[in-house]
Structures are given as structure tokens and as C-alpha cells.
Amino acid sequence: ADAARRTLMEQRAVEEHRKQRRTAPAPGPGTALTPKIRRTVFDAGQKQELPGTPVRTEGAPPTSDPAVDEAYDGLGATYALFSDAYGRSSVDGAGRPLHATVHYGRDYDNAFWDGNQMVLGDGDGEVFQRFSKSLTVIGHELTHGVIQYTARLVYQDQAGALNESVSDVFGALVEQKLLGQSAREASWLIGEGLFTPEVNGRGLRSMSAPGTAYDDDVLGKDPQPADMSGYVETSSDNGGVHLNSGIPNRAFYLAASRLGGYAWERAGQIWYDTITEPNFPADCTFSLFAAATVTAAEKRYGAGGPESSAVQAAWKEVNVMV
Ligand code: ASN
Ligand code: ZN
């Protein structure tokens, strides 16, 4: 009788197991084995020491500090873009915890990725407000992290400008996806609303019309070129990486606009495929990058289709391709 009961229980266990297998939802793209988001926001207390004191960890409720909560939400929105749209978990593709430090320094007018984490200044209140206000800035800095684990673009000259541009591209897409904006509806501004009302400017950079983001008595006019005829040869800023990025930025805007719809879908996928190509050259030129995006478009969507045509036309319009 004992043996019979045991057999019956075993049978039930087997059936239960089978039922669970039948009813378990099929894993969607990027769910199986994809680690979940793990965020920590630190407060530097206006010192320049990193990372500072942890003030909000994953799952903790909002604090009373807007900079902390904006940074936490910005990490979430950036993780969401890469995970939902491209099946990538975090900057390294393996669920690496995302760290951000706010209140870095006094009147600190910048934000950066230090190779390990994102850092956000409060701004001086005269020219800049706190950098956590801009989702495109947060997305930009974290994309430097993604590039570090993928294309490894050298931060100098054309490769450096591509590093800057790819960071702007996915920074813009983080915001567009969160707001549900199509290519037509998006502002295509990086750091929109970061300037104080004292400054005559819309944002740090315009991807659709580089060189038109600001024109201010103190800051001067936005110096970004919009095509190769304005390419800046300089030794400052690692060869003008924040200036010449205007050229590939506009190429992305033109390709995404020609395709229409949500830019993170086909245009973003093509740019993502390009930077995650295993043999991507770290010293990539604009011309090589342009060719790589056309190849990526052909690979994913087919040769001679609207995707590769849109990408090719975009690079021609900025005079990178002939
Ligand atoms: N905000 C700038 C950037 O991420 C900071 C820098 O140039 N290091 O490109
Ligand atoms: Zn950057």
C-alpha cells in the first residue's frame, strides 16, 4: 500500500510539473535569463568625491530630493529603452547595476560617465539648472557606458564624434520612447530646458538642425556643423568631438524622419546593430560608420528596402557619402 501511495504521489508530482510547463508563459524577447534592473543613486553633497552616500536603492520609494528621483527614474527609462527595444540588459548587456551620483561639486555645469557610473552636477543656476532635469542627458551619459562595452569608439577626432553622436542618438531615443513621441513629434534636442530662463537657448544641441540650439550674448551661437562642409578641424575637446557630432546626429535624424514612426524602432535598431557588430573598429571614421549602418540595415531589413535607402540618403544629405 505504501509503495502504491508513493507511486500515486510521484505521478501527481509529475502531472503538476507538466501542467506548470504547459501553463508557464513563453519567454518574450529578452526575458529569459535577462537580469532585472538594479539601481543606486548616491549623493555627493556638493563634494567631488565618488560615489558619495547611497540615498535610494532599487525598489525604495521616492525621496524628497528631486535630483535623486529624477536620476533614479532616468536610469529606469534608459534601462527600459535598451531592454525593451533591443533586448539588452543594462550597459554591459549582463544586468550590471546602474549607479548615479547627484549633487556632484558646487555649481557644477556638466554631467559625465566616468567609466563606471554616471555623475550629475547641480548647474550654477545662472546658465544651467540641475542636469538630472534632462532625460536626454541621462540617456547620453549611460550610452557612453553601453559604447564602452560594445563599439569601444576611441574618444578622439571622428571616432570620438561618433561616440558623442551615438550617445546623443540613444539619449534622444530614451526620451522619445518614454514620452511616446514619433520622429515627427520629437524635439530632437539634447538637454532641452536645461538652460535657465536667462539664457537664449532651447537646449545643448539640436540633432535636426545642428548649430541652432542656442544663440546667446554670453554663450555665443551654437557652433555645431550640420554637414561635412562645416567639419571643424581643432585640437581642443579631443578634436571637436562635441561639435562634429552634429553631422552624424543629423544623419540619424534624417534617416529616422524619412522612415517615420517611432525612431527607436527601425532607425534605432540599425544604429544599435551597428555598434554591437562584433568586429566594429574602435577608430571608426564617419565614412566607415555610414557604410556600416547601410550594411546593418540591409542585414536586418533586406537590401534595396526602404530602411537601407533611408539610411543611405541621410548620409548623402550630410555629405558623408557620395
Ligand atoms: N557631458 C559631457 C559628455 O558626456 C562630459 C564630457 O565631455 N566629459 O560628453
Ligand atoms: Zn558625451
Angle, CA 250 vertex, CA 245 and CA 252 arms, to 5°: 100
* Low pLDDT (below 50) residues in the chain: 3-10, 13-24, 30
Burial 137-158 (b: 16+ CB within 10 A, else e): bbbbbbbbbbbbbbbbbbbebb
Hey, which residues are catalytic here? Answer: 141, 242
What is the model's pTM? Answer: 0.91
Classify residue 15 by burial, with Cβ atoms within 10 Å: 0-12, 13-18, 19+. Answer: exposed
With the most atoms of ligand 1 within 8 angstroms of its CB, the residue from 91, 104, 108, 112 to mutate is 112
Ligand 1 atom 4 nearest Cα: 112
What value of ipTM does the predicted structure carry? 0.95
Parallel, antiparallel, or unpaired for β 189-190 and 205-206?
A: antiparallel
Residue 287 alpha carbon to ligand 1 centre in Å: 24
Angle, CA 277 vertex, CA 172 and CA 244 arms, to 5°: 45
Count of structural domains, the chain:
2
Q: How far apart are CA 90 and CA 74, in angstroms?
A: 13
Burial 84-105 (b: 16+ CB within 10 A, else e): ebbebbbbebebebbbbbbbbe
Q: Quick one: the chain helix, strand, coil %, rounded to 5?
A: 45, 10, 45
Q: How far apart are CA 51 and CA 38, in angstroms?
A: 16
Taking only the tens place, the pLDDT of each residue in 255-283 is: 999 999 999 999 999 999 999 999 999 99
pLDDT of residue 32: 54
Residue 16 counted as domain residue: no
Judge if the beta carbon of residue 238 lies within 6 A of ligand 1: no
Ligand 1 atom 3 nearest Cα: 112
pLDDT of residue 172: 99
Residues 191 and 59 in one domain: no
**CATH number of the domain enclosing 131:** 3.10.170.10
Residues 261 and 112 in one domain: no
The torsion angles phi and psi of 19, rounded to 5 degrees, stand at -60, -45
Q: How far apart are CA 180 and CA 173, in angstroms?
A: 10
Which of the listed residues 149, 167, 186 is the one where a domain comes to its end?
A: 149
Cell numbers for 54, please give them. Answer: 547611497
Residue 189 counted as domain residue: yes
Judge if the beta carbon of residue 141 lies within 6 A of ligand 1: yes
pLDDT of residue 14: 43
pLDDT of residue 207: 99
Which of the listed residues 104, 128, 149 is the one where a domain comes to its end?
A: 149
Classify residue 249 by burial, with Cβ atoms within 10 Å: 0-12, 13-18, 19+. Answer: buried
- For residue 53, the cross-strand partners are 43
Domain ranges, residue 75: 39-149
Ligand 1 atom 8 nearest Cα: 112
Q: How far apart are CA 89 and CA 83, in angstroms?
A: 5
Nearest to 118 by CA among 41, 176, 53: 41
Q: How far apart are CA 246 and CA 226, in angstroms?
A: 6
C-beta contacts of 260-266 below 8 A and 24+ residues apart: 260/182, 260/183, 260/184, 261/182, 261/183, 262/176, 262/177, 262/181, 262/182, 262/183, 263/172, 263/173, 263/176, 263/182, 263/183, 263/186, 264/81, 264/85, 264/173, 264/176, 264/177, 265/85, 266/301, 266/307
Q: Are the C-beta atoms of 67 and 103 separated by less than 8 Å?
A: yes
Residues 163 and 280 in one domain: yes
Ligand 1 atom with minimal separation from the 237 CA = 7
Nearest to 186 by CA among 165, 209, 164: 209
Burial 27-38 (b: 16+ CB within 10 A, else e): eeeeeeebeebb
**CATH number of the domain enclosing 183:** 1.10.390.10
Residues 179 and 299 in one domain: yes
Residues 167 and 205 in one domain: yes
Residue 30 counted as domain residue: no
User: What letter would DSSP give residue 214?
Assistant: B
Residues 95 and 204 in one domain: no
Residues 267 and 175 in one domain: yes
